[in-house]
């Protein structure tokens, strides 16, 4: 019995010492964490205010992905007020600004610590057609204003409209396809139309869409009346392909237009003729 009591006292003494060591260790750990946090905060403030960690000019911004937009135009779109602390720059806000203000589909902005600066990668909207504004105020059968796009513009493959002045270095990369009378109501159909046109063997240089009840294609065979755009557009282009040798059978100059409203029964409207002719 006395041996057990003596053992218990030694055990309690050892436990007290262990608890005291643990409390001391926890105290120093907390003190170290607090010191580290204070040091980090001071370091961040010093970093933010130090001229070594500021962007002094656009030369510290590395751009990639732009082929149509020159670097200086991308810098103007970003609109950074120099000098600017690297830590105060918000990459997500810059990405949103680039997409909202320019012909840019996507943007990625990342801070760079060494050397201090920004890495900016953009994805341009590639123009595939020139949008000629609709000047015919008499056609108002659509709910939207026929002059919704009152100036010369560009379209990408998804139907996104942008001012022609969005790109200053198109040069030889200017689109050959033209669309006259483009309106916001047509934009949802444009991706399918453009994709179908890409697979057409008959070259199509211009689409006249001023009248929503009659889409007119201008081709090497002359004008082709499609009627209102609809699900049979690809069938109409297939029917047009079957007429590719029409110029070998008759003088194209005599044809006023090709009527493909019914792709199963295309007709030719002959100049100064009273009745349409079936090819």
Q: Which pTM value belongs to this model?
A: 0.73
Q: Which of 245, 236, 199, 201 is nearest to 215 (CA)?
A: 236
Q: Quick: pLDDT tens for 126-165.
A: 999 999 987 665 455 555 555 568 789 999 999 999 999 8
Which helix (H) or strand (E) element contains residue 131?
strand 127-132
Say if residue 182 is in the same domain as residue 228: yes
Q: How confident is the model at residue 235 (pLDDT cuts 50, 70, 90)?
A: very high
161 and 255 fall within a common domain: yes
On whether both 61 and 164 belong to a single domain, the answer is: no
Residues 200 and 145 placed together within one structural domain of the fold: yes
Q: Which residues pair with 110 in a beta bridge?
A: 119
Regarding whether 184 and 219 lie in a shared domain, the answer is: yes
Pairing of the two strands 84-85 and 61-64 = unpaired
Q: Can you give the residue range of the structural domain that contains 64? A: 53-124
For position 222, which CATH number holds?
3.40.50
* Overall number of domains in the chain: 2
pLDDT of residue 149: 80
pLDDT(116) > 80: yes
Shared-domain flag, residues 137 and 239: yes
Q: Is the distance from CB of 139 to CB of 34 less than 8 angstroms?
A: no
Of the listed ranges 4-18, 54-68, 116-130, the least confidently predicted one is 4-18
265 and 131 in a common domain: yes
Task: Tell me which of 185-194, 200-209, 245-254 is least confident.
Answer: 245-254
Instruction: Let me know if residue 48 belongs to a domain.
Output: no
| Residue with more model confidence, 247 or 115 | 115
């Amino acid at each position: 019995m006395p041996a057990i009591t003596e053992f218990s006292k030694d055990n309690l003494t050892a436990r007290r010492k262990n608890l005291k060591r643990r409390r001391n260790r926890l105290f120093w750990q907390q003190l170290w964490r607090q010191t580290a946090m204070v040091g980090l905060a001071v370091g961040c403030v010093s970093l933010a205010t130090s001229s070594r960690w500021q962007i002094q000019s656009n030369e510290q911004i590395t751009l990639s992905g732009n082929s149509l937009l020159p670097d200086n135009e991308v810098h103007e779109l970003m609109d950074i007020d120099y000098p600017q602390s690297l830590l105060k720059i918000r990459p997500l806000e810059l990405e949103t600004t680039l997409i909202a203000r320019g012909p840019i589909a996507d943007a990625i902005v990342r801070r760079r610590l060494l050397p201090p600066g920004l890495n900016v990668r953009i994805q341009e909207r590639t123009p595939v057609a020139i949008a000629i504004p609709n000047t015919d105020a008499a056609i108002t059968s659509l709910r939207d204003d026929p002059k919704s796009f009152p100036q010369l513009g560009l379209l990408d493959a998804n139907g996104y409209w942008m001012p022609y002045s969005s790109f200053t270095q198109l040069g030889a990369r200017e689109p050959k396809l033209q669309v006259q009378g483009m309106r916001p109501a047509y934009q949802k159909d444009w991706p399918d139309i453009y994709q179908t046109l890409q697979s057409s063997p008959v070259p199509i240089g211009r689409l006249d869409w001023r009248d929503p009840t009659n889409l007119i294609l201008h081709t090497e065979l002359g004008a082709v009346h499609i009627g209102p755009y609809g699900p049979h557009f690809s069938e109409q282009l297939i029917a047009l392909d079957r007429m590719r040798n029409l110029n070998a059978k008759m003088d194209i100059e005599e044809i006023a237009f090709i009527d493909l409203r019914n792709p199963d029964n295309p007709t030719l409207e002959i100049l100064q003729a009273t009745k349409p002719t079936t090819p």
